[in-house]
């Protein structure tokens, strides 16, 4: 199987977007003119691929851990999206969900079933799994240890590149919609994919080595992990039809953070 897909799903522009002069295609063109194809000779590569490397970028060893551990370890880390023109969009991970592979009835890999769609979940830890929902939105996951296991990135705190994030989000909204607050730019799995312009063709790429998107330690926090007292364990969102798995506390978020998508007050009292 190919490690990369060369096709890309993009939403058509609406009449309202055209009327207000906001073209989704124009906004996105500065971000990934070439992401879904081969890098051409002469293209400037990311500074994170120098021989010396970057001490903040997280490599294979970080992703090579059990799913629940990885889901918690993501919290406080910074997801970076680098565009073709060198612009970097950054967001701190504040909410994740763990999907435990074959035994997890709410997982795309339930029963150990590997398909064309979910192949990335069965690839090495750190592999990006991007899938569409409702035909037009995308969600980004990262594989972990455990066959078919992966972590869903559910919410980010926007850190850098907010004007472009807002453009990317606004281009997908109806005309006349109220302006988005900063905390609303990435407070949901599909919202963060829009704000950072994560395309479908990132599916099956390696987050440990990919030059267009990567994960870093927050230099303000350092290498230490979040205090477990500050991590809330709650039930996952949107899986009510999956029996006992719907109530398992496999969603993790930073207590009190304003960018969390859904606050679970009961879980907070129990955590």
| pLDDT at residue 158 in the model | 98
Report the pLDDT value the prediction gives residue 52, as an integer from 0 to 100.
42
Q: Which of 81-90, 100-109, 149-158 has the lowest mean pLDDT?
A: 81-90
Q: What letters, b where the CB count within 10 A reaches 16 and e where it falls short, cover 12-22? A: eebeebeeeeb
The pLDDT of residue 53 is 62
State how far the Cα of 171 lies from the Cα of 14, in Å rounded to an integer.
9
Q: Kindly state the average pLDDT of the residues 195-223.
A: 92
pLDDT exceeds 50 at position 138: yes
**Whether pLDDT at 4 is above 60:** no
The pLDDT of residue 37 is: 53
Q: From 153, 154, 147, select the one nearest 104 (Cα to Cα).
A: 147
Neighbours of 193 (CB within 10 A): 23
Q: Which CATH number fits domain 60-223: 1.20.1080.10, 3.10.300.10, 3.60.15.10, 3.40.50.2300?
A: 3.10.300.10
> What is residue 184's predicted lDDT score, i.e. its pLDDT?
97
The CB density around residue 46, as the number of other CB atoms within 10 Å, is 17
Identify the weakest region by mean pLDDT among 49-63, 165-179, 194-208.
Answer: 49-63
The pLDDT tens digits for 123-133 are 999 999 999 99
Name the residue among 52, 142, 35 with its Cα closest to residue 87. Answer: 35
The pLDDT, as a whole number, for residue 19 is 37
Helix (H) or strand (E) holding 194: helix 189-195
- Give the pLDDT of residue 84: 85
Please tell me the distance from the alpha carbon of residue 270 to that of residue 140, in angstroms, as a whole number: 29
Q: Give 141's strand partners.
A: 129, 152
Rounded Cα distance between 23 and 25, Å, is 5
Lowest mean pLDDT among 108-112, 216-220, 264-268: 216-220
Whether the pLDDT of residue 9 is over 80: the answer is no
| pLDDT, tens digit, 9 for 90 and up, residues 23-61 | 444 444 444 444 465 443 433 343 333 334 677 999 999
At 126 the pLDDT is 98
Q: With H, G, I as helix, E, B as strand and everything else as coil, classify residue 72.
A: helix
- Whole-model pTM: value is 0.81
Average pLDDT of the residues in 241-249: 96
Q: How far is CA 99 from CA 70, 77, 223, 269, in A?
A: 11, 19, 25, 24
- Higher per-residue confidence, 173 vs 119: 119
CA angle in degrees (0–180, nearest 5) for 103-236-205: 70
- 227 has a pLDDT exceeding 70: yes
Segment 75-95 shows an average pLDDT of 95
Alpha helices in 120-188 (DSSP H): 162-170
Q: Categorize the per-residue pLDDT at 251 as very low, low, confident or very high, splitting at 50, 70 and 90.
A: very high
Structural domain boundaries in the chain: 60-223
């Amino acid at each position: 199987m190919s490690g990369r897909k060369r096709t890309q799903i993009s939403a058509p522009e609406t009449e309202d977007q055209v009327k207000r002069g906001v073209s989704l295609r124009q906004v996105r063109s500065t971000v990934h003119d070439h992401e879904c194809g081969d890098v051409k000779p002469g293209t400037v590569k990311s500074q994170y691929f120098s021989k010396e490397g970057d001490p903040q970028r997280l490599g294979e060893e970080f992703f090579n851990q059990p799913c629940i551990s990885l889901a918690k370890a993501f919290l406080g880390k910074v997801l970076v999206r680098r565009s073709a023109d060198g612009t970097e969009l950054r967001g701190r991970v504040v909410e994740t969900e763990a999907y435990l592979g074959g035994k997890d009835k709410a997982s795309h890999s339930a029963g150990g079933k590997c398909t064309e769609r979910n192949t990335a979940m069965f690839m090495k830890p750190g592999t990006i799994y991007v899938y569409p929902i409702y035909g037009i939105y995308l969600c980004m996951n990262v594989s972990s240890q455990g066959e078919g296991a992966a972590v869903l990135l559910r919410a980010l705190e926007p850190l850098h590149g907010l004007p472009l994030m807002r453009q990317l989000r606004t281009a997908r909204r109806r005309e006349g919609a109220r302006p988005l607050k900063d905390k609303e730019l990435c407070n949901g799995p599909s919202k963060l994919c829009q704000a950072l312009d994560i395309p479908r063709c990132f599916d099956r790429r390696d987050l440990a080595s990919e030059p267009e998107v990567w994960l870093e330690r927050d230099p303000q926090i350092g290498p230490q992990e979040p205090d477990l007292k500050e991590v809330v364990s709650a039930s996952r969102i949107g899986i009510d039809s999956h029996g006992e798995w719907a109530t398992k506390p496999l969603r993790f978020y930073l207590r009190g953070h304003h960018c969390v998508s859904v606050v679970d007050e009961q879980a907070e009292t129990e955590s």
